[in-house]
Structure 1
Amino acid sequence: MRPRHLRIRPQFQALLAGPTVARTAHFALHRLSADGLARAPEPTQALFLPADTVWLGAMMPKRWARRAVTRNAIRRQIYAVAEEISSPLTAGAHLVRLRAAFAPAQFPSATSAALKRAVRAELMTLFGRRGA
């Protein structure tokens, strides 16, 4: 089943208010499990209906990816890897946040194959560390 995408600012804010569950050199993963959603205040619960669904969001600050084409390529990789991983994401809300820039000297093209491979490999590591 494909995850539903986070769309509105309060959804992102609710996830950012919680702890980071996994980190890599360039990404951080925030999660609010289905149990956490059940215990959350009523306004937060209303943001993630139905609660037994997988919600996924990608946050790419311009600070770390200046070009829109790069932000969009990374975002597409996040959604693709989330669908392809061997152990699917658990019900609840997940947010992948870019927390550091990929070196422009190493990846001069905004959508190079090398950048896509590096992003994909790091995302596989991130989703592998996500815990239970």
Structure 2
Amino acid sequence: MVQKADFERVLATPSRSRSTHFAVHHVDGGPCASRWHQLHPADAELSTGDAQSGAQPVDDSRRVAPDACWLGSIVPKRHARRSVTRVLLKRQIRAAMARHADTLAPGLWVVRLRAPFVPAQYPSAASDALRLAAHHELEQLFGRARRA
């Protein structure tokens, strides 16, 4: 997910699961593409209109109905000051989503960091201890999100 409107729509829902440092939000993908196009009428057709047959469309960025899991992650700078830490956490979030994608409901998912990891416990920005702590917490988080 990269569209601001998608993030706003998902974050407007209550969190589906929370842990000490993370929260997961979800919006159902819906049963069909027509519902998606009702919510996003601008994406219902290409901006080029009826193109000549055989010609490639100029605008092929049309959204499809989310019949799979679409992930967005939010790791704010106020909770993870160093970019190394933010990148590590985003990678952990993507990896956890990849492990659990087949067991989660289709739709838009957003995982956000809601509290900082204590720097005294994890002095290195990309330590193995931080990686393991984030991995363990995300596993529990997605396990609870699956059941909710």
Higher share of residues assigned strand: 1
TM range (shorter): 0.7 to 0.9
Q: Which amino acid aligns with 1:85?
A: H
Instruction: Tell whether the 8 Å contact from 1:55 to 1:94 is kept in structure 2 after alignment.
Output: yes
Distance 1:39 1:97, change over 3 A: same
SS at match of 1:105: coil
Instruction: Tell whether the 8 Å contact from 1:12 to 1:95 is kept in structure 2 after alignment.
Output: yes
Q: 1:117 & 1:99 partners in 2: Cα distance?
A: 18
Residue 78 of structure 1 is matched in structure 2 by: 93
Instruction: Tell whether the 8 Å contact from 1:26 to 1:101 is kept in structure 2 after alignment.
Output: yes
Once the two structures are TM-superposed, the CA of residue 53 in structure 1 deviates from its matched residue by 2.0
Paired residue total: 127
Gaps spanning 5+ residues in structure 1: where?
1-5
Residue 134 of structure 2 is matched in structure 1 by: 119
The structure with the larger Rg is 2
Q: Which amino acid aligns with 1:88?
A: T
Moved more, 30-39 or 57-66: 30-39
Residue 3 of structure 1 is matched in structure 2 by: none
Q: 1:108 & 1:49 partners in 2: Cα distance?
A: 43
Instruction: Tell whether the 8 Å contact from 1:34 to 1:51 is kept in structure 2 after alignment.
Output: yes
SS at match of 1:35: coil
TM-score (structure 2 length as normaliser)? 0.76
Q: 1:80 & 1:53 partners in 2: Cα distance?
A: 16
Residue 10 of structure 2 is matched in structure 1 by: 15
Residue 94 of structure 1 is matched in structure 2 by: 109
SS at match of 1:15: helix
- Counterpart pick for 2:39 among 37, 42, 45: 42
Once the two structures are TM-superposed, the CA of residue 63 in structure 1 deviates from its matched residue by 1.1
Gaps spanning 5+ residues in structure 2: where?
44-61
